[in-house]
Amino acid sequence: MSTTEALVKELVEKNGRTRNSLMPVLQGIVQQEHFLSEEALICVAKELDLSAADVYGTASFYTFLDTVPRGKNIIRVCKTITCHMKGKDEVIKAISNALKIKVGETTHDNKFTLLSANCLGWCHKGPVMLINDEVFPELTPQKALEIVEEYAKK
Amino acid sequence: MENNLKKVDIIFEDSDKCAPLKVLEKTLKRTADDIILDLIDSGLKGRGGAGFPTGLKWKFTRNETSDVKYVICNADEGEPGTFKDREILDRVPEKIFTGMAICGYVVGAKEGYIYLRGEYNFLLKGLLKKLSDFNAALKKLNVDFQIYFKSGSGAYVCGEESALFESMEGKRGEPRNKPPYPTVAGYNSKPTVINNVETLVYTTMICHMGPEKFKALGTSDSRGSKVFSVSGDTPIPGIYELELGMPLHDFVNEFGDGDTKAVQVGGASGHCVPRKKFNDTIIGFEGIPTGGSMMIFNSSRSMYNVLHDYLEFFAEESCGQCTPCRVGCQQLLKGIEAVKRGERPPAYLDDLKKLTGTMKIAAKCGLGQSVGNPFNSIIDNFREEIIY
Ligand SMILES: Cc1cc2nc3c(=O)[nH]c(=O)nc-3n(C[C@H](O)[C@H](O)[C@H](O)COP(=O)(O)O)c2cc1C
Ligand code: SF4
Ligand code: FES
């Protein structure tokens, strides 16, 4: 059994073998593997007795359920209006230059993916970014770089 | 300067007297009908945007016959400019749980769910701990009600109640046709109460302090207070609980930077109010309602950029299920870009306004229906900024 298969079985065991468990199962896979591979999607379909197209169709609806390979750390910089006004462009530019990737891309070593996101619920402390599940408000380009460096060391 | 703004401390009030479990114990000794009467009497309307009277929502669900019913807390908070639910979840979660448990008792539900947006996953660990203590306390009190968390995965439209049910059922978050309404057929097609985070805390506090004190605040159409998320060009951004029914003028005096040009009331899907209308705009259900988002823009801001950001947001977040919204959002965005570049005449903006009229009638859910709010209010008040 591959690690993905084992993970899916474990998640299905924990959340239950019903359609209502689909989201927590998919979220659990993304937590471990950072995205949903074809193997993972097919495996979920089999375990929950759904068609693979149905599982893919559901997954592809959600921004956080990526179906293309992502780096170990996913950076999401808020691009909505207040963060826009407070300088998200400079933050994105700084990270983009440091990691040598554009928004939407992943570094060669697979450590980082840089994405933009819609309002993250910290507008009074923008600009703000999420790295995986962790939140970093009140950013400056300098601060953002230091945080990314910390993650690079991990 | 004369200012009628009244700051209030109900939601975050933290004292032994309003200890959530004590409020729960006290309330469960009353009859469900009494609790509903108090809620109706208080005048509390939903704080998630649509403003439906909360007491009636609970009453309708109570009146449905079904072995299984649900209580759901909408913690999907995705409206740009809103961040008050995150703060409530972080600071007074037990007041939310209590509101849900009281609701379960009133309507006859045994299960409650909190649908938390994926962007707030960092809150989950702390919340789960507090929830498990609360669930244990419920068992100890012999209350047949348990609460669970469900996580979202980054989709604004899942805040729409029927899309939220779809998502909880493991499907694409596509809004359903209404009727049937959630009170009749919600999660798993069972009668469901779905309330915003803040609404649920007010139900707890009304049970604690009685409807009189709540209804003494606000106006006849907008009873009580509300938590506002203030952002943009303000020296004091943050979260403030204020009495409803204030003139926008007073709000700007308190929060503006002295150079306020416009306020977007109600987030991307709300209305843009220009300075000349501050005096006669009331914040409340009789004027411009808001889920709490107040974005302040000063004279250095381009309203074209503001509108462009909003339209980009809607074009991305439209679930794509119905044509008026899927195509409409894209055409509005492309349309203002074309006018800006001079590829279309200024009068094209009037065609686009007609398109928002069509969307209002023909779109399936509140997302597509309300794109006209920001669009028309910005075009009407800042037309020259869009064109030149
Ligand atoms: C596109 C869209 C997004 C919404 N997002 C939210 C949300 O994030 N939180 C919320 O409480 N209500 C949201 N609503 C409103 C809900 O559909 C629903 O009216 C509300 O949860 C009811 O609770 P209330 O009566 O306590 O306000 C949204 C509606 C639409 C159309
Ligand atoms: S109005 Fe937009 S978001 Fe709502 S159902 Fe139609 S396409 Fe989806
Ligand atoms: S606009 Fe960036 S967090 Fe809200």
User: Tens digits of per-residue pLDDT, A118-140?
Assistant: 999 999 999 999 999 999 999 99
Q: How far is A58 from chain B (nearest CA, A)?
A: 5
Rounded distance between C-alpha atoms, residue B68 and residue B190, angstroms: 7
- The CB of B80 under 6 Å from ligand 3? The reply is yes
Domain-located, residue B166: yes
At B49 the pLDDT is 82
Q: Which atom of ligand 1 is nearest to the CA of B57?
A: 25
Beta-carbon separation of B119 and A121 below 8 A: yes
Residue in B171, B172, B309 nearest the CB of A80: B309
In chain A, count of helices (H) and strands (E)? 7, 4
Distance CA B344, CA B8 (A): 49
Interface pTM (ipTM) of the complex?
Answer: 0.97
CA atoms of B318 and A131, how far apart (whole Å) = 25
**In Å, what is the CA distance from B177 to each residue of A2, A11, B147?**
42, 32, 28
Task: List residues of chain A with CB under 8 Å from any CB of chain B.
Answer: 18-24, 26-27, 57-58, 61-65, 80-82, 84-85, 117-126, 130, 133-135
Of B215, B230, B252, the residue at which a domain comes to its end is B215
pLDDT given for residue A1 in this prediction: 81
CA angle A154/A107/A125 to nearest 5° reads 65
* CATH number, position B351: 1.20.1440.230
Q: What is the CATH number of domain A73-153?
A: 3.40.30.10
Contact between chains at B156 and A118 (C-beta distance less than 8 A) = yes
The answer to whether the CB atoms of A122 and B83 lie below 8 A apart is yes
Q: Which residues of chain B have pLDDT under 70?
A: 1-3, 16-17
- How close B154 gets to chain A, by Cα (Å)? 5
Closest residue in chain B to residue A56, using alpha carbons only: B172
Ligand 3 pocket residue status of A123, Cβ below 6 Å = yes
Query: Does one domain contain both B58 and B160?
Result: yes
For residue A128, the chain B residue with the least C-alpha distance is B119
- Test A121 with B305 for CB contact under 8 angstroms: no
Give the strand pairing for B293-298 and B225-232.
parallel
Tell me the pLDDT tens digit for each residue of B228-255: 999 999 999 999 999 999 999 999 999 9
pLDDT at A71 over 70: yes
Task: Indicate if B80 and B184 belong to the same structural domain.
Answer: yes
Of the three residues B197, B215, B233, the one that is the final residue of a domain is: B215
User: Domain range spanning residue B142?
Assistant: 16-215
Looking at the complex, report in whole angstroms how far the Cα of residue A108 sits from the nearest Cα belonging to chain B: 26
Residue nearest to atom 4 of ligand 2 (CA): B365
Q: Quick check: is B91 in a domain?
A: yes
pLDDT for B15 equals 73
- pLDDT at site A108: 97
Task: Give span(s): CATH 3.40.30.10, chain A.
Answer: 73-153
Same domain, B177 and B28: yes
Residue A84 C-alpha, separation from nearest chain B C-alpha, in angstroms: 9
pLDDT tens, residue by residue, A23-41: 999 999 999 999 999 999 9
**Cα Rg of chain A, angstroms:** 17
**Which residue in chain B has the smallest CA separation from A83?**
B232
Q: How many CB atoms lie within 10 A of CB B179?
A: 9
What's the pLDDT at B3? Answer: 66
Q: Collect all residues of chain A within an 8 Å Cβ-Cβ radius of residue B233.
A: 85
φ/ψ of B387, rounded to 5, equals: -80, -45
B60 and B206 in a single domain? The answer is yes
Task: Look up the pTM and report it.
Answer: 0.97
Q: Do A118 and B310 touch (CB under 8 A)?
A: no
